[in-house]
Each structure stands twice: as C-alpha cells, then as structure tokens.
Amino acid sequence: MPELLEVESYRRLADQTIGRTIAEVDAHDTWFLKGVSAQQVIEGLTGARIRATDRRGKLLTVDLGPERPVLGLRFGMTGRLLLDGHPETERLIYAPGRDDPSWDRFALVFTDGARLRITDPRRLGGVELDPDLSRLGPEAALVTGDQLRGALGASSAALKARLLDQRHLAGLGNLLVDEILWRAGLRPNRPAHSLDRAEVDLLAATIRSTVADLGRKGGSNRGDLQDQRHRDGSCPLDGTPLQRDTSGSRTTYWCPTHQT
C-alpha cells in the first residue's frame, strides 16, 4: 500500500495542479531521486507548466509538455501525495497516521504558492524523469484474460507472487491480491502456470470487478476480507479459520476450504 486505487486518488489530486507553473523544485532528498541528479530534476522541471497527469499501475506520471521530461512519481508502501497539506488519502495501512515534515522527500512549488509534496516515512518511493513504461505489465484494472495468460505464462512461481510482480501485471499490491484470490476461490500458493483457461478468465474478471468495487468503496483496504486479515481471522464466506502464510515476501491470508 498504496496500490493502484490509492495512486489513482493521488492522480486526481495532482489533476488540481493542471495549468499551474512550477516556480521551485525541492529535491533535497537525493536518495529519493532514481537515476537522476537533483540538478537535472530542478533544471528539467522549473518553469514548466503542468499539462496532464496519468497513471500506470502504481506509477503516477505528470506531463510537462514536449520540451520537458515526463515526471514519474512512485510511492512505495508508505508514500502519500499532499497538495497544500491536504491528502487525497487520509490514512494508509502500514504507514503512520501523522504528517511529519521530516518525512517530506520531494515537492513542487507553483507560482501561485501552492505546494505539491510527497511524504514517505520509509523512503521506499521515488522520483524519476521519463520513466520506462515498457518495464511494467498491463494495467490490472483493465486486464483481459489473454493479457493475464501472458502475464502468468509458464511460471512456476506462486500465483500471488506472480500477480504482485509489476513487470507482469501493473498495480496490484498485497491487500488487493488477497481480496482478489479470496473472491476468485484460488489458492495463493498455486503455481501460476497451473491455472486452466477458465480459471484465468475468471481471475481476470475478478481482478477487474474487485478493483472497480473497492474503488467505489474508497480504497484497497475496503475489501470483504480485510477485517479478518489477522491471526485469529476466519473466512467471511464459510467461517473457516484463515491460513496465514508468506507469498511473494508478503504476509498472506487465505481460506483453505474454498480457495483451491
């Protein structure tokens, strides 16, 4: 977290800066700059006018026009985007519930005085110029059965780990994948290649419908499984005690009765 739903909310917040001109760039945290120097970021962005925003998976991009680089913003597990101190997402799971100025990593200050900034306690996000979108898989919110078949391929990796790999499918994180697999009735530790055609089509449809449903409800932490994602949790569908495992290096909750 943030997952694609939270980054989409950040994109909507960044949309409020369209038409504004960047007067100053605060790039003091050089660790947060990925493959680019502070000088390059400052020179590339200062004086530019925000033209549009977009999102691919968990990556937020800001279009500054044909003569300027595309600004790419990543948020890791605890990054938040704020405009004049107001976040689009009030609280992230796995992140502190307060705003500490020492966590500010990057900011754009506009000629009208507005300030768009990233705060990230764990510094797992980052800032890029002209990010390489070819390194990302298809957009999870729109994934088709054929695209998902290509993403799963012949991989023997655990199904959940494959779905979390942004190179194969862009946008899903721990909470969404647990919810999706629970709704689809698929075990997270199944080899990715073991799904038959019908199961892949079902999973693709469940990914799309779950993202849409939780988007309407307000975020990745609004799933039906969420309240039971703890050591003594039980399946909301059949009451079976949930299994707690690790998959894709992430804590995973699933039902051993209906997820097969």
2 is catalytic: yes
Cis peptide before 2 (omega within 30 of 0): yes
Q: Can you tell me whether residue 230 is helix, strand or coil?
A: coil
Instruction: Output the DSSP codes for 34-55.
Output: -SS-HHHHHHHHTT-B--EEEE
121 is catalytic: no
Q: Of 2, 121, 131, 188, which residue is the catalytic one?
A: 2
Q: Of 3, 6, 8, 179, which residue is the catalytic one?
A: 3
Q: Of 49, 115, 149, 250, which residue is the catalytic one?
A: 250
Which residues, at least 6 apart from 121, have a Cβ–Cβ distance to it below 8 Å?
78, 95, 96, 100, 103
Q: Of 11, 55, 58, 229, which residue is the catalytic one?
A: 58
250 is catalytic: yes
**Region for 35 from its dihedrals, namely left if φ exceeds 0, alpha if ψ lies in -120 to 50, beta otherwise:** left
Instruction: Output the DSSP codes for 150-179.
Output: HHHTT--SBHHHHHH-TTTSBS--HHHHHH
* Cβ neighbour number for residue 80 with a 10 Å cutoff: 25
- Cite the active site residues: 2-3, 58, 250
